[in-house]
Structure 1
């Protein structure tokens, strides 16, 4: 099972998405891919920060009409186990001199709490989280 970081799940929403990421996403079994409540917060915050207009409307619709139905039943919460893992991951990263931002730490904690991999472009941001990582931008198709 794989938790998608926000940069992975948002890539297909871009005007010119990276073909390698699209190929990687298409090669995965949909039921093995998960989002977190934190990803959704980041996506909604990004859309809300845009000025009113067509782009904002289109992204809001894409999230609500495409993304949410696609991941129905596969959006992981930030629960008690994730909170405990957050504290451990945060302390470890700080002790190693590589602090992790709140959202990234929360996403890593949710992945850890569920025993899932994390797919992200920002591997260095998570390298001290103690979880298995993969980079769809670096994956070879097939």
Structure 2
């Protein structure tokens, strides 16, 4: 495995691990619960304006789970590309832009809405992916 592939794989691993831990916390334990028990009860009893088919609590669980699955999918797809289809990833401007763009979008969300651990993890994944890009581009230059 060349250096660029290792950097891409490392980036994908960070994001995949963050998504996996987030999914675990979504369904097990209370790490993602409100600190105030009355807030939890209110969320469980309140429907969003959009529909009465769910509660705010169930919607938040679903949003957290789908968010986790997105991060896990990023990790699996880009990890697979980096390890099994290295040349494709290193030659595809579309895949490179898609990966970097996704990570930068996650970083913007992390800076605005999340807390330090996922923000630092996503920042690390961005740096690793960008280093993979720079390494790839340096190999192409004569």
Question: Do both proteins adopt the same fold according to a TM-score greater than 0.5, normalized to the shorter chain?
Answer: no
Higher fraction of strand: 1
Normalised by the size of structure 1, how large is the TM-score?
Answer: 0.33
Higher relative contact order at CA 8 Å, sep ≥6: structure 1 or structure 2? 2
Higher fraction of helix: 2
